[in-house]
Amino acid sequence: MATPPDCLFCKIVAGEIPAEVVHVTEHAVAFRDINAQAPTHVLVVPRAHYANAAELAHGDPEASAELLRVAAAVAAAEGHADYRIVFNTGEGVGQSVFHTHLHLLAGRPMTWPPG
C-alpha cells in the first residue's frame, strides 16, 4: 500500500519524526500519545498505511490482529490488567490522523458510554 507523503504516523514509523516508542514488532509500532487522556495512553499503529481499522482488517487481517496483541503486551508491561482499546474511524467520531491506530487507555477509572 502506498504511503501518503504527509502521513504523520508513517513518518513516526519510519523514524522521521520522534516519538516515545514503547513496543515494536514486525507489523506494528506503539508509542505514547502526546495528548494523553489517561495515565497510560499509547497509540498502536500498523507499519503499513491503511486509512482506518476497516481498511486494515480487509487489507491485512494479520496486522489487524497484531495491533490487539501489541496493545495487550503494552498494557501488561505497564502493569494494567484492565484497559480500554478505542478505534476511531472517520472524522465525525474524532479520527484526526488517517492512518489506522488504536488508542490503549489505562490507569484511571473510565465510564460508559464514552464521550
41, 49, 99, 101: the active-site residue:
101
Dist. CA 92–CA 73, nearest whole Å: 30
Verify whether residue 101 is a known catalytic residue: yes
Sheet holding 84-87, edge to edge: 21-24, 28-32, 40-46, 102-106, 84-87
DSSP 94: T
Q: Which residues are catalytic?
A: 101
